[in-house]
Amino acid sequence: MYQILVVGYNEDSCTDVARALAYEVGVEVARRGHVLLTGGLGGVMASAARGAYENGGITVSILPQKETSQANPYSTVKIATGLSHMRNMVNVWSADGVIVVGGGAGTLIEVAAAYLEGKPVVALVGSGGVADEYAGKYIDERRKAIIHSANTPREAVEKIIQLIELEK
């Protein structure tokens, strides 16, 4: 059982397209029997968690707050960190791989952390933001690892599982 982190737009900037794609990513993670990790709040996080939760999956929310009351309602396990944006590192360290759905600056932090930690990353093309900007590219001139791209939620989950298995 792998722990797959889904990162992307927060509630304020999330698009309907990203919500729908994130939901389907959550469904696909649950159907394959893996654990879905998120930052536990709204937007892509809530949509992915909802998809997994409604399909019998385990959802782990690693929250920036000191208490769990702000976790989205689809959180099976709620972890309060009190670390604000620094919890992004906990998210990445806890994950076997990362799927990116849209996203802004906070998402870019998680993608860069995964890159630096050698975790595989798959960006869902067509979801906007960071995912579209970095799909198929390297983050910097060191070219340590490419940000893989996928065109559908199913492909994203299949690809991240394959990449995780190559790392194991």
| Cβ–Cβ < 8 Å for 133, 38 | no
With a cut of 80, say whether residue 168 has pLDDT above it. Answer: no
**What does the block give as tokens for 97?**
């791989």
DSSP one-letter code for 122? E
Q: What is the overall mean pLDDT for the chain?
A: 97
Complete domains list, the chain, with CATH? 3-167 (3.40.50.450)
In tens, the pLDDT along 104-118 reads: 999 999 999 999 999
Cβ atoms within 10 A of the Cβ of 51, count? 28
Distance from C-alpha of 109 to C-alpha of 157, rounded to nearest angstrom: 21
Tell me how many helices (H) and strands (E) the chain has.
Answer: 6, 7
In tens, the pLDDT along 37-90 reads: 999 999 999 999 999 999 999 999 999 999 999 999 999 999 999 999 999 999
Cβ atoms within 10 A of the Cβ of 143, count? 9
With a cut of 90, say whether residue 167 has pLDDT above it. Answer: no
